[in-house]
Amino acid sequence: MNRTVFTGAATAIITPFCEAGVDYDAFGRLIDFQIGQGINAIVAAGTTGEGSTLTDREHEEVISFCAKRIAGRVPLIAGTGSNDTAHAIERTKTACRAGADAVLLVTPYYNKTTQRGLIASFTAIADASDVPCILYNVPSRTGMNMLPETLAALAKHERISAVKEACGNLSQVAKERLLCGDDLDIYSGCDDQIVPTLSMGGKGVISVVANMLPAETAEICARFFRGDIAGAAQLQLKLLKLMNQLMIETNPIPAKAACAAMGFGENRLRLPLVPMEEGNRQKLLEMMKELGIEVNE
């Protein structure tokens, strides 16, 4: 059975906020911009979408809104992971009811667990899900690394279809590909490693820079899959300075500043995140201008 959720580039979309809560007008315009520019999927309420500071009610409303706005044009992936497995199960069930096509499950943070605990936790969530599950390995945020052997065990579950790999270690990605083969799709979780990940059989990227440049991010993948490896690498290198600047402060601080400058809501985050330092923001805007992005300072 082909369990692939998407091929190409998915935007890890920001959640625009206003004083009253979620700015759904800005959110809708951003979603339409993404799809109009040719993005292949949208990930809502993930790390970049500040999903961990959404209330349960907001989380359900965000996923429901996205599902209705997307209206089947591209797959919708909902971030439903938590350090509390029971909470992740409830958010996953809610996202399924709200119209998500897949869910994204981060490894438990703070309390962490062991590799056996990861298998038990993700199995419990996948058992409760009606849609494919994409696991998310991001050791820099969670304090733990999901090992290739663990992924190979989890890949046997019928609803665990992929991993978003943000460990930053291409040797680990290669081992995952070796152990999992076609049983598990691999998506790059690092914008600066799209082409290397694709070269080892990856299916695409879940991207932050795609908030600003969805067409270009999708084109990196499209060029690769057309066999234009050099062209894909060239385009990734063209965007590399911006990709790096988007990580100069904790994601999504720079992404939120960039989207606000493009007219997609306010430069507003939820504590503990605070707006980008002005010097860094100005550098970000200059890089955006160099790439032809219209910004309002």
Beta strand 21-22 with 17-18 is antiparallel
Task: List residues with catalytic annotation.
Answer: 136, 164
**DSSP 3-state percent helix, strand, coil across the chain (nearest 5):** 50, 15, 35
Of 63, 50, 21, the C-alpha closest to 211 is: 50
Task: Give the DSSP H or E segment for 285.
Answer: helix 278-290
Cα–Cα–Cα angle for 236, 240, 243, rounded to 5 degrees: 110
Region label for 147, one of left (φ > 0), alpha (ψ between -120 and 50) or beta (otherwise) = beta
Of 229, 272, 259, the C-alpha closest to 284 is: 259
Number of continuous H segments (helices) and E segments (strands) in the chain: 13, 10
